[in-house]
C-alpha cells in the first residue's frame, strides 16, 4: 500500500526555518521532519512512499538523491569517478518524488498523483507526528467501508473540529475552534474513487473533499487518544526537539 506525504506547502508560520528549505525538511534531532513521518509508517511495514513536492521541492529531491551515499560506506575511483558501495545503513524503501506544483492546494496535489493511486492509499502531511497504530487505522477504514478515513485527535483549541456519530463523521469543519474537540490529525486512508471528487489544482483536501464526504456518510473517523503534535510554529519545533533530546519522543516508538 502506498503512502502519500504532502510536502509542498510554504510553511509561512515557520518562516524562520522555511526561507531556504520546505517545512518537511526542518530538522528534529538532526533528521528532517519528513523522515520522522516516514519512519512511523515504515515501522508498520509500509515502505513505498510518494512525496508530493512543491515549494523548494528540489531540496527534498536532492536529499533523497544523495541519501544512499550519505548513509553508506563506499569507495570511489578518482580516475573514473566510479563508486563502489561497501555497506549501507539506508532503509529498504522506495520513494517516488513528484513535482505537484508551486501553488497547488492539498487536494490538487493528490489529484496530480492519480496515476500512482489505483488501490487504497494512505495520506498524511509532512509536518505532524504521532504514536499512531497504522494497522488499527486501516482496520477501522476497512470496517467502516467508506471512501475515506481520517485520524481524529485532540489538539490545542486553535484548530477546527470534527463532529462524529459513532465512527461516522457527520460534520467536518476547518473553522476556528471555540471549544475542546476532535480535529483531523492527518494519517488518512482513501479509496481511489475520491480522485474523481477532486476538481483540480485549486481544490483543498479539507474543505473541497472531506467537508463534502462527511454529510454523504462517506467519512470514517479513527479516534487516536495518544500523542499527536504538528510542527506549525517555532514553538512547536522547539517542543518536538526537546522531547527528542530528552529521550521522550513518543512517535519513535510503536504504540502499546
- Residues 215-254 have pLDDT tens digits of 999 999 999 999 999 998 888 899 999 999 998 899 987 6
CATH topology of domain 2-252: Spore Coat Polysaccharide Biosynthesis Protein SpsA; Chain A (3.90.550)
pLDDT tens across 100-132, in order?
999 999 999 999 999 999 999 999 999 999 999
Whether residue 256 has pLDDT greater than 80: no
Q: How confident is the model over 142-148, as a mean pLDDT?
A: 97
pTM for this entry: 0.87
Give the span between the Cα atoms of 215 and 213, in whole angstroms: 6
Residue 176 is predicted with a pLDDT of 43
Cα angle 85, 87, 91 (rounded to 5 degrees) comes to 105
Terminal Cα-to-Cα distance of the chain (whole angstroms): 23
Residue 87 is predicted with a pLDDT of 80
Amino acid at each position: 500500500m502506498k503512502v502519500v506525504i504532502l510536502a509542498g506547502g510554504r510553511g509561512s508560520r515557520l518562516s524562520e526555518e522555511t526561507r531556504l528549505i520546505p517545512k518537511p525538511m526542518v530538522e528534529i534531532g538532526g533528521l528532517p521532519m519528513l523522515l520522522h513521518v516516514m519512519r512511523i509508517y515504515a515501522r508498520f511495514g509500509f515502505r513505498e512512499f510518494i512525496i508530493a513536492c512543491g515549494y523548494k521541492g528540489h531540496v527534498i529531491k536532492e536529499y533523497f538523491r544523495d541519501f544512499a551515499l550519505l548513509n553508506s560506506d563506499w569507495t570511489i575511483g578518482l580516475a573514473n569517478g566510479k563508486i563502489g558501495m561497501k555497506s549501507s545503513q539506508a532503509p529498504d524503501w522506495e520513494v517516488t518524488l513528484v513535482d505537484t506544483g508551486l501553488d497547488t492546494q492539498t487536494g490538487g496535489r493528490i489529484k496530480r498523483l492519480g496515476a500512482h493511486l489505483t488501490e487504497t492509499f494512505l495520506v498524511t502531511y509532512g509536518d505532524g507526528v504521532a504514536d499512531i497504530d497504522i494497522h488499527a487505522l486501516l482496520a477501522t477504514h476497512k470496517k467502516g467501508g467508506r471512501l475515506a478515513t481520517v485520524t481524529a485527535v485532540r489538539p490545542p483549541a486553535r484548530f477546527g473540529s470534527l463532529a462524529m456519530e459513532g465512527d461516522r463523521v457527520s460534520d467536518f469543519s476547518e473553522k476556528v475552534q471555540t471549544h475542546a474537540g476532535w480535529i483531523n490529525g492527518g494519517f488518512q486512508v482513501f479509496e481511489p474513487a475520491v480522485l474523481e471528487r477532486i476538481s483540480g489544482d485549486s481544490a483543498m483536501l479539507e474543505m473541497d473533499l472531506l467537508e463534502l464526504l462527511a454529510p454523504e456518510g462517506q467519512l470514517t473517523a479513527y479516534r487516536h487518544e495518544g500523542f499527536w503534535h504538528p510542527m506549525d510554529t517555532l514553538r512547536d519545533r522547539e517542543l518536538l526537539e526537546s522531547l527528542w533530546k530528552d529521550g521522550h519522543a513518543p512517535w519513535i516508538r510503536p504504540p502499546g
